[in-house]
């Protein structure tokens, strides 16, 4: 039974002390394969069941230029990334040994200093180190592959879920039926109107249409309450704000509402719609206008109800997609935390 194996890269062949070393190692159970090119060493290495140590003949390296040794070892590691080559030297100096270590050497064998036992020990240690490193690399590769497969399956599953959601939404719009999957709350409107009679009438009609309505007579009062409403289970899907209000006017109320609730759709209710007001409202992103007096209250209520439902549906979809992103991100964080190389 072979205890450990080594591949000796010897471009000039083996002779003298190097041949003696090979013979002595073979006699102690170390299987040594001799090649003259790095490409042959790569082929043999890849066909080994257990990673063999890589010995490289550097007896002819000029001690005045130790970088040559470092460069040789680095080329080997580029071709065999998980190895720690062992340079075989005939005369070592501190500078040469340091250059070998910097080049990635797992150990150094000095033919003039190392006996058979020490040389075998160096090869055995390197084989053990490479085996552990290869095992770790394979484990990490398996984990990455498993997570990649999981991500692919998760994306497919979420894509199918989104497709089902879209079909349900389309069916709901076409038939008016309640979808099987929906938000647990009704659409909600924030109403700011200083005329209590108008506010009460709108509130009653909207509530009758299934829209939760929160009415206030001033912008200041609405702003105090909107943050609480937006964070509660009630939520807010639309704002209907009168242009003329005591205190801060309707446009300023909408601007401040948007600071508290980003992207909240807003309608401006006014008895006088001039060019300046329309331009200012457009700059704020107001989505429409309701003209007072309310000539056709049924049409206004129907329009607001539909828009509030659509806004709720967008919020639901955004929350759904956000949950998907958060789940994906948690998996991706674990995936990124895996080291790419052991």
Angle at 186 between CA 242 and CA 323, to 5 degrees: 110
131 and 208 assigned to the same domain: no
321 and 192 assigned to the same domain: yes
CA distance 61 to 89: 8
Which tokens is 12 given?
């000039």
- pLDDT, tens digit (0-9, with 9 covering 90-100), for 118-136: 888 888 888 888 888 877 8
The confidence band for 166, taking pLDDT boundaries of 50, 70 and 90, is low
DSSP-derived secondary structure letter, 267: E
CA distance 143 to 149: 10
217 and 119 assigned to the same domain: no
How many C-beta atoms lie closer than 10 Å to residue 142's C-beta? 10
Given a cut of 60, is residue 179 above it in pLDDT? no
131 and 11 assigned to the same domain: yes
CA distance 236 to 265: 10
The whole-number pLDDT of residue 341 equals 52
The whole-number pLDDT of residue 85 equals 92
227 and 120 assigned to the same domain: no
The whole-number pLDDT of residue 339 equals 63
Q: Compute the average pLDDT of residues 25-44.
A: 91
Task: Please tell me the total count of domains within the chain.
Answer: 2
The confidence band for 191, taking pLDDT boundaries of 50, 70 and 90, is very high
Please give the mean pLDDT across all residues of the chain.
Answer: 82
Which pTM does this prediction carry? 0.45
Whether 174 is covered by a domain: the verdict is: no
Q: Which of 69, 99, 60, 103 has the alpha carbon at shortest distance from 83?
A: 103
CA distances (Å), origin 332, targets 85, 145, 232: 35, 13, 31
Whether 240 is covered by a domain: the verdict is: yes
Whether 216 is covered by a domain: the verdict is: yes
CA distance 47 to 33: 13
Q: Compute the average pLDDT of residues 209-235.
A: 80
Given a cut of 90, is residue 248 above it in pLDDT? yes
Whether 314 is covered by a domain: the verdict is: yes
Last residue of a domain, one of 125, 140, 155: 140
| Residue ranges making up the domain that contains 254 | 188-329
Q: Are strands 86-89 and 53-57 parallel, antiparallel or unpaired?
A: parallel
Whether 278 is covered by a domain: the verdict is: yes
CA distance 81 to 130: 10
CA distance 138 to 150: 18
Sheet strands side by side (includes 288-291): 212-216, 188-192, 238-242, 266-270, 288-291
3-class DSSP state of 226: helix
User: Which of 127-131, 146-150, 219-223 comes out lowest in average pLDDT?
Assistant: 146-150
The whole-number pLDDT of residue 249 equals 92
292 and 207 assigned to the same domain: yes
Give the CATH number for residue 268. Answer: 3.40.50.2300
Whether 166 is covered by a domain: the verdict is: no
CA distance 60 to 36: 15
Tell me if the bond preceding 293 is cis, omega within 30° of 0. yes
CA distance 76 to 78: 5
Q: Which of 184, 227, 190 has the alpha carbon at shortest distance from 315?
A: 184
CA distance 253 to 242: 9
Q: Compute the average pLDDT of residues 197-219.
A: 90
The confidence band for 12, taking pLDDT boundaries of 50, 70 and 90, is confident
């Amino acid at each position: 039974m072979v205890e450990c194996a080594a591949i000796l890269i010897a471009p000039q062949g083996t002779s003298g002390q190097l041949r003696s070393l090979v013979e002595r190692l073979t006699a102690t159970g170390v299987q040594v394969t001799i090649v003259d090119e790095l490409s042959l060493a790569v082929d043999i290495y890849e066909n080994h069941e257990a990673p063999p140590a890589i010995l490289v003949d550097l007896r002819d390296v000029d001690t005045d230029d130790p970088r040559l040794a470092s460069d040789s070892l680095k080329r080997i590691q580029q071709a065999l990334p998980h190895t720690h080559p062992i340079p075989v030297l005939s005369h070592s100096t501190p500078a040469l040994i340091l250059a070998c270590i910097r080049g990635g050497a797992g150990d150094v064998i000095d033919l003039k200093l190392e006996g058979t036992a020490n040389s075998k020990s160096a090869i055995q240690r390197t084989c053990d180190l490479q085996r552990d490193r290869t095992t770790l690399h394979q484990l990490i590769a398996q984990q990455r592959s498993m997570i990649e497969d999981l991500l692919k399956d998760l994306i497919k599953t979420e894509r199918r879920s989104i497709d089902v959601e879209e079909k349900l939404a389309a069916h709901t719009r076409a038939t008016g039926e309640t979808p099987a999957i929906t938000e647990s709350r009704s659409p909600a409107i924030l109403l700011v109107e200083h005329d209590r009679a108008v506010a009460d009438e709108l509130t009653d009609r909207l509530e009758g249409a299934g829209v939760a309505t929160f009415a206030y007579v001033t912008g200041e009062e609405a702003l105090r309450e909107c943050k609480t409403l937006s964070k509660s289970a009630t939520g807010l899907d639309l704002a209907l704000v009168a242009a003329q209000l005591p205190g801060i006017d309707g446009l300023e109320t909408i601007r401040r509402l948007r600071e508290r609730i980003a992207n909240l759709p807003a309608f401006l209710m006014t008895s006088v719609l001039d060019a300046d007001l329309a331009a200012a409202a457009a700059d704020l992103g107001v989505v429409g206008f309701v003209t007072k007096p309310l000539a056709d209250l049924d049409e206004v209520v129907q329009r607001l109800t539909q828009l509030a439902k659509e806004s709720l549906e967008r919020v639901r979809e955004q929350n759904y997609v956000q949950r998907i992103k958060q789940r994906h991100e948690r998996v991706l964080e674990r995936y990124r935390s895996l080291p790419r190389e052991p």
